[in-house]
């Protein structure tokens, strides 16, 4: 609950920053998601990982300011990932194929960078939701509050566009008593409070100057 209150406060503060933003960056990207285990008391759900894609939209001051807001951006993220899902039984040692799992991430965060106007390193914190959409129409879908930490490098060959490499640790939150009920008769109750997984992405971005 504390995370939700902090996220609401952060959203209010960031909206005020967006209203004064001088630069908008639009960043479509493509990348790789690493496998993610979801542990239950009697087994473990596993994803294979694979490709992901999405869009980041950032609002900030870039190099137009000389105070703390220089290279400070508010960022909206959307990420989509589809992966095969399986279940591993702890006692029998067997695997069961459960079809595909679609994951939708919608996050809001703040990133702060430093650089020389050609190369810029940055890091950021995010909060939002992850939707777990299971292929089986009889399985439960879940929407979980998610926090994330990201970092990367931006390269500006010109003032109007650039290339961005980004890596991010996403941490969807669960209650230890969450009943999964995902496909194939699996009725495992989750035994962890979060299920972290990593994304690695590469994309281009348009740098739109709003000061004119």
Selection from 105-114, 138-147, 191-200 with the highest mean pLDDT: 105-114
State the Cα–Cα distance between residues 207 and 23, nearest whole angstrom: 7
Does pLDDT of 212 surpass 50?
no
Q: What is the mean pLDDT of the chain?
A: 83
**pLDDT score, position 186:** 52
What is the rounded average pLDDT of the residues 26-49? 90
Q: Which residue has the higher pLDDT, 112 or 90?
A: 112
Pairing, β 23-33 against β 37-39 = unpaired
Is residue 82 left, alpha or beta, with left meaning phi > 0 and alpha meaning psi from -120 to 50?
beta
- For residue 98, the SS3 value is strand
Domain spanning 2-209, CATH class: mainly beta
Does pLDDT of 126 surpass 90?
yes
pLDDT digits (tens, 9 = 90+) for 44-68: 888 999 999 999 999 987 655 566 6
pTM above 0.85, yes or no: no
**pLDDT score, position 167:** 97
CB atoms within 10 A of CB 79: 23
Domain ranges for the chain? 2-209
């Amino acid at each position: 609950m504390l995370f939700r209150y902090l996220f609401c406060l952060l959203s209010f503060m960031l909206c005020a920053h967006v209203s004064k933003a001088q630069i908008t960056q639009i960043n479509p990207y493509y990348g790789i998601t690493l496998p993610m285990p979801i542990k239950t008391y009697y087994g473990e759900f596993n994803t294979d990982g694979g490709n992901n894609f999405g869009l980041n939209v950032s609002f900030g001051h870039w190099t137009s300011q000389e105070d703390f807001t220089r290279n400070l951006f508010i960022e909206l993220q959307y990420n989509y990932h589809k992966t095969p899902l399986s279940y591993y039984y702890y006692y029998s040692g067997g695997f069961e194929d459960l079809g595909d799992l679609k994951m939708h991430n919608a996050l809001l965060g703040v990133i702060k960078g430093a650089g020389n106007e050609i190369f810029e390193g940055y890091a950021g914190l995010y909060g939002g939701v992850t939707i777990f959409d299971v292929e089986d129409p009889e399985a439960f879908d879940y929407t979980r509050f998610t926090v994330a930490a990201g970092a990367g490098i931006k390269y500006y060959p010109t003032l109007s566009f650039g290339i961005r490499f980004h890596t991010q640790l996403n941490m969807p939150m669960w209650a230890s008593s969450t009943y999964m009920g995902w496909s194939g008769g699996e009725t495992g109750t989750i035994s962890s409070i979060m299920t972290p997984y990593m994304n690695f992405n590469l994309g281009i971005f348009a740098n739109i100057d709003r000061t004119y």
